[in-house]
Every structure is written in structure tokens, then in C-alpha cells.
Structure 1
Amino acid sequence: MSFGGNMGTMFNRAKQLAAENLSDQAKTEYDPELVALIAQLDKTKEWGKKFLERQAELIQPNPALRAESFFNETLDLKKPEKMTNTERFGSNLESAAVEIDNAASTYTQGLKQFGSAQKELGKSERRFGREVEKCCIQPMKKFLAEDLEAALNEKSALDTLRLDLDVAKNKVAKAKGIVDREKAEKVLQEAQKDFDRQHDFTKVIIGRTLNNHHTNHANQLKELSRIQTSLYRECSQVMSELDEELAKIAIK
């Protein structure tokens, strides 16, 4: 059966849906396992979007810069990487050291060393952002746009066939005369076959989609744990070395 159908089919579907929404008219239910899978899929979509938002905030806390990045990505504009706030702070410290006295005093030497450390931290932050984008954000975007959307399309197709099935059931119930009833029952048999086939297929697709996503997302979080550990280790090392250098400076 064609999903598009003719105008009569579309009208019957709309009429059936309206009757269900406006009254307690009975409708064909999906089996409990599929109902549970559909609920999981809906929640997975909801939380997947939230994960994307939080991860974007993780690598870029500034909402204006996030919006700019989204705009550039949407229009496929290639822009050079911006300095992080930490790098800008470090660059300011180094510039101040040079302009004050060309880093000749212990004070400006300290500014220069602190600035250099801040710039190293910033580089680590940018590298962290690139890795989060690659291992977490892009795969999640792909999942939501492709795999999850494909599963939802199958569910939408099932919803349409469910309407067709219930339209056919109602026509059988209202049929008058043997000929009309036999014709309606034949249509019902075809509608039942189409519905059963799509029902089973949808269950398989949603189940597979969720299982694959759970495995992939768990691996993404493991990778995120690794790169966060690496970031904090690098930053800790930079700050430890800075502490040692600053301890040698006696500011007068």
C-alpha cells in the first residue's frame, strides 16, 4: 500500500485521527515492547539534544561565540580558530611585560612567565575543544540527524498504516450487504498485512538503533574521560612548572 495514497485515503486518515482525538473511539494498539521502545527513542532524542548543548558549553562557555560558531557551521564558513580567554589573558600579560620595561625587572619577568603559562593552558583548552568536537559532538549530531531520524520515519510510517488499518476495520463494521462486506474485508486483510509487516520492522529498527547508540555513546564518554584526564594532567603540569619558576623570583 502506498503511504502517499490518493485524496480519499488522506481524507479517511484525517477523519480517523480526528475521531480518535475527539472521542474514545477504539484504535489498534502497538504491542507493549514496541511502545516501550518508542518511549526510549523519544527520550533518547530529547536527551541527545541536551547532551549536545552541554558539550558545546563545555568547550565554549560564551553563548555569543557558540552562536557565531553555529552560524559559520550552518553556512559552511571556514573561520580561523579564535584565541581562548586564557590565551588572551596570557598574551596581555606578555605584552604588558614588554611594554613596561621589556621584561627587565623581576616583576615583569613574572608577568612574562605567567603569561606564557596561560597561553599554554589556552592551547590545551583549544586542543581539548577540537577533540570533544570530533569524538562526541559530531557523532551525536550524526546520530540525531541520520540514525534516529530514520527510526522515527519508520515509526511515522507505522502510524500511517495503523490509521489505514483502523479505517478498514470501521468500514467492515459499517458495511451493508454481502458484496460490500466482502470488499471491505479484503481491504482489511491487506491493511492488516501491511501493518503487521511494518510493526515488526519498526520494532527491529528502533531496537537496533537504540542498542547501537548506547554502545557508541558509552564509547564516546570513555573517550571524553580520556581527553579530559589528558587536559587536566597537561594543565597541572604547566601550573606546577609555573609555581617553580615564580618561586625563584624575588619581586622587589
Structure 2
Amino acid sequence: MNMKMPSFNMKDLMHQAGNTISTQVSRVVQLTEEKLNLTNDKTEYDSNFEALLERQEATKNLTEKIVKDTEALLVPNPGNRVEDFIFEKIEKKKPQRLSNIEHLGLDLIESGGTFGSDGAYGSALIKTGQAEQRLGQCERDFIANTGICFIQPLKKFLDGEMRTITKERGVLEAKRLDLDAAKSRVRKARSLIGTQSKDGLSPEQSLEQAERELRVAQSEFDRQQEITKLLLEGLGSTQSAHLRYLHAFVESQVRYFAQCNKIMNELQKELASLGGSDAPKYEIVVTDEEADLHRNINLQPEGLHYQRARVLCSYDAKDNSELNLVANEVIFVAECTPPHSDYMHGKQGLLKGLVPKAFLEILDD
């Protein structure tokens, strides 16, 4: 079976490529002349359209700053932010890392166990470490909630609507440059009226062709300006959505600080009951509403006898019933009810789930 291959006219392809390159070069020259104030032929937008362009530019820049600053607040380590960004781009699960406060909590608990939990200092270290772990879990929840309710919607706006507007603005700028070039050709053709013919066209014919090209360029510019204007005007409605995101962020932050406040007030009372401190006691007033936010936080619920255990090597949870483990971290474990030959009940801060016995070294007798 003979198949007829499509024919290509290399000369036409080269001609089209040459025209494209020539157009791009001409636009660069035009922009350079405008920057250097070497031309007065630039098509100006009306004041209303200029105001829309300025608002769009400010919205884009300031939203990017807000997202960047919020990410820096949640993840202060630049290296971790870069790592999270890479995992996000390759659509892989981010690595689970302990925060500084969680590391502190584990070290305090380990130190308290070493010094002896029956002594005042060892007991205080353990209680403080447990509180730090709960703070760490509250921080995790705050980071996750802020990412969902604030950062992600703003990023979606920047990657979607704002990117579309920026693209259409680029098209409009190209159309404007084409329009200015067409106007320049018309002026040049008019200046040649009454002179000898060139390239087989009379000056009158050259002017007619230039005016025809100008009408086409003007029509394309007007159409693209209208498209861009509609998109720019739509930006005003996005602020109401962004206001909702901001409210959600503030509510998440209020909840986070209320939880932290509750945890530290409880810790302060526990440490005071141990004695050994001559420092003045300060009571931080917590409203009933704030107290309810952390009512269910409890490191060691009744009915389970927890022990400290060190994780021998990292372990990825098979499903939601298990915990992810990181090598050398210290967690609390208790026998399952009923007992299981391969698993124990584990607790990482506020996270609960099954953990395999083979990955654990029990630290408490």
C-alpha cells in the first residue's frame, strides 16, 4: 500500500520563520526606542485602562509577597521550603520531619527518664517535654490548616486567573507594537506620494496597502484590549474571595494560639505542684471558649499504660490506622487491647495509631 507523504515547501517554511524572527526583532527595537524616549509614536491607553493595569500589577506582586511571607512564617527553614517545593512539583508526598519544638520535647522526655521520673526535676522535664510535643502537634495542625485555607487558594489564583491575565497582557502589548508599526508604515507611505514607484508599486498603491494593514492591526488591537479589559475588571471580584481566605487564616491562628495558651497554662500548674521554684507565678486568663478548643488534648488517655520506645529505623504507614515513624525518634507505646503479636498502640504527640513491634526498642521497664 503506497502512502502519499505530505509535501513541504521548504522555501515557504523558511519564509514564515524569517517573517516571525523579523517581527520579533522589530518589536524589540520598538520597545528599546520607547524606553530611550526615541519615539513619540507609542499608542497610549486611556487613564481608566492604565488604572486597571496598575491594580493588576499591584495585586500580583502583593499576593506573591503575602504567599512568600506566610510560607516563611510556617516553615522558617529555607532549605525545607525548597525541599517541599520540589516534592510538590513532582507530585510526591512531602517528607515527614519533626519540628524544632518536637525535637526539644523528645530530648526533654529522654532527659527526664535518665534523671529519674520519681524526682522533681526529672518529672518536670518529662511533663515539659510532653507539653512541647503537644505544642508541636498544634503547630502541625496550624501549618496544615493555613496551607489549605489560605496559601493554596492564593497560589491557585496566581497560577490560574493571574497567569491568564498576564498572558493576555503580553498579547495586547504585541498587538500594540504591531499597531504602532502599521501607523509608522502609513506615515512613511504618505511621505512618498509624488515620488517614483518602488518595488513595482506606485506610492498610491503602497499607501493603500499600508492603510489596509493599519485597519487590520487596529481591529486586532481593539479586540485584544477589550478581552484584557474584561479580565482586569474581573479582578475586583476576587478580593471578596481573598477576604474569606484571610478570615480563615486568622481563625486558624486564633485557634492555634488558644491551644498553645491552654497547654502552657496546664503545664505551669503541673510544674508549680512539683515545687522547687521561687519564681513568681503568673496566671494567664483563658476564656471558656478558648479552653474548649483544646478540651480533648490528652497525651496519655486512661486505660492504656504507656512506655517510651525508640524507633530503630524509619517506617512508612501502610494505611491510616498506622503511624509513620522516623529513625531514632522517641514515642509512647502501649499494648493493644486485646494484645497483638506484631503491633502496639503508638502515640506521637496527638497522633495515634498502630506501630510494628519489630521497629521499636522499649526504653522503660
Question: Is the TM-score greater than 0.5?
Answer: yes
Normalised by the size of structure 1, how large is the TM-score?
A: 0.90
Q: Which residue of 38, 46, 58 maps to 2:73?
A: 58
1:185-233: CA deviation from partner (whole Å, max 9, x where unpaired): 111111111111111211111121x224322221111111100010011
Name the SS for the 1:248 alignment partner: helix
Q: Which residue of 178, 193, 196 maps to 1:164?
A: 178
Instruction: Show the counterpart of 1:202.
Output: 228
Instruction: Show the counterpart of 2:205.
Output: 179
Q: After alignment, is 195-204 or 221-230 more displaced?
A: 195-204
RMSD over aligned CA atoms reads 2.1
**1:38/1:206 contact within 8 Å kept:** yes
The residue identity in structure 2 corresponding to 1:32 is S
The residue identity in structure 2 corresponding to 1:160 is A
> Is structure 2 residue 62 aligned with structure 1 residue 47?
yes
The residue identity in structure 1 corresponding to 2:115 is I
**1:20/1:27 contact within 8 Å kept:** yes
**Gap regions ≥5 residues in structure 2:** 1-18, 193-202, 278-365
Instruction: Give the number of the structure whose alpha-carbon radius of gyration is greater.
Output: 2
Q: Which residue of 112, 118, 121 maps to 1:107?
A: 121
Question: Partners in 2 of 1:100 and 1:154 — Cα distance?
Answer: 67
Question: Partners in 2 of 1:11 and 1:119 — Cα distance?
Answer: 61
Q: After alignment, is 79-88 or 31-40 more displaced?
A: 79-88
Name the SS for the 1:26 alignment partner: coil
Instruction: Show the counterpart of 2:96.
Output: 81
Question: Partners in 1 of 2:72 and 2:33 — Cα distance?
Answer: 45
Question: Partners in 2 of 1:125 and 1:34 — Cα distance?
Answer: 44
Question: Partners in 1 of 2:102 and 2:135 — Cα distance?
Answer: 7
1:95-149: CA deviation from partner (whole Å, max 9, x where unpaired): 1111222x11122111111111111111000100011111121122222222111
User: Which structure has more helix as a fraction of its residues?
Assistant: 1
1:38-81: CA deviation from partner (whole Å, max 9, x where unpaired): 11222222222211221012112222322332233233332342
Question: Partners in 2 of 1:212 and 1:28 — Cα distance?
Answer: 29
Given the superposition, is the C-alpha separation of residues 71 and 8 from structure 1 closer, same or farther in structure 2, using an over 3 Å criterion? closer
List 4+ stretches of structure 1 deviating above 6 A: none
> Is structure 2 residue 46 aligned with structure 1 residue 31?
yes
Identity of aligned residues (%): 34
> Is structure 2 residue 236 aligned with structure 1 residue 211?
yes
> Is structure 2 residue 232 aligned with structure 1 residue 232?
no
Instruction: Show the counterpart of 2:153.
Output: 139
**Gap regions ≥5 residues in structure 1:** none
Given the superposition, is the C-alpha separation of residues 246 and 7 from structure 1 closer, same or farther in structure 2, using an over 3 Å criterion? closer
How far apart are residue 166 of structure 1 and its match? 1.0
Given the superposition, is the C-alpha separation of residues 221 and 189 from structure 1 closer, same or farther in structure 2, using an over 3 Å criterion? same
**2:88/2:94 contact within 8 Å kept:** no
Name the SS for the 2:161 alignment partner: helix
Name the SS for the 1:104 alignment partner: coil
Name the SS for the 2:274 alignment partner: coil
Question: Partners in 2 of 1:79 and 1:156 — Cα distance?
Answer: 35
**2:114/2:122 contact within 8 Å kept:** no
**1:19/1:25 contact within 8 Å kept:** no
Question: Partners in 2 of 1:97 and 1:77 — Cα distance?
Answer: 38
How far apart are residue 11 of structure 1 and its match? 4.5
**2:186/2:211 contact within 8 Å kept:** yes
Instruction: Show the counterpart of 2:130.
Output: 116
> Is structure 2 residue 108 aligned with structure 1 residue 96?
no
Normalised by the size of structure 2, how large is the TM-score?
A: 0.63
Question: Partners in 2 of 1:14 and 1:58 — Cα distance?
Answer: 41
Question: Partners in 2 of 1:182 and 1:161 — Cα distance?
Answer: 21
